[in-house]
Amino acid sequence: ILLFKSYWEEIMEVLLDPRTVNSRKVLAGLKLIGADYDVRKYDYFQAEQKSDEFVAVNPNAAFPALIDDDFILWESNAILQYAAEKVGNTNAYPTDIRTRADINRWLLWESSSWFGSCYVYLVENCVKPLLGDTTDESILANEQENFHKLASILDARLKNSTFLCGEEPTIADVAVAAPMHLHGWAKLPLGDHPNLIRWMTKEIENCSWWKETHIGEGFTVSE
């Protein structure tokens, strides 16, 4: 077992609400990486990401953000890349040029395509009912074709490997799994994508770094 140590003594601080997709992504990723960190919690449902205090750190008014001494970083995938580099974990973020390009490709794809599609189901089937609103079935129907296109890309990739970029998990797996973190409650239509189901339920959900950051139905955070 390889142990990774930071070259700096400062402990990174992450500002987030652990119930949100990208916050959960960063927490799980930091655990995979083996980084030391402190958490400053905010409440998404109280719109605390729009507070002057938070916006001074992240002008996008979106979770999460990272403070490392005098360095501020936002965008969840950039935080994962930075933390892996800082700690020196080349298993979670390999330095081989092609493997790293592959990981970066999935990070970009997740933020530009996969997140948005999964988020439609999260909002309609989780957030709206939680807030006493009604699910709009027409919105779900309109997203179905795009979701299956994207899920098919993942399913094909996972047909011949345990994880997205090989036989061990990387920050690419953390990033792509995060939008699916409430897949049962969100009612993601995964039935036609057996390799994606296997990866999520048999691999990701059995990893310690995922279990330790579990968010349950009703947005209950495991302690």
| Model confidence band, residue 9 (pLDDT cutoffs 50, 70, 90) | low
Query: Which tokens go with 222?
Result: 């495991």
pLDDT at 82 over 80: yes
Q: Which spans in the chain are helix H?
A: 21-33, 52-55, 76-87, 97-109, 115-122, 128-130, 137-157, 171-177, 183-186, 194-198, 208-211
pLDDT at 4 over 70: no
Task: Name the residue with tokens 């990387």.
Answer: 170
| Model confidence band, residue 12 (pLDDT cutoffs 50, 70, 90) | very high
Query: Which tokens go with 127?
Result: 């957030």
Q: Higher confidence at residue 106 or residue 6?
A: 106
Average pLDDT, the chain: 92
As a whole number, mean pLDDT of residues 58-75 equals 96
| Model confidence band, residue 220 (pLDDT cutoffs 50, 70, 90) | low
Asked whether the beta carbons of 172 and 107 are under 8 A apart, the reply is yes
- What are the φ and ψ backbone dihedral angles of 213, each rounded to 5 degrees? -120, 25
pLDDT at 100 over 50: yes
Asked whether the beta carbons of 70 and 15 are under 8 A apart, the reply is no
Looking at residue 130, its pLDDT comes to 86
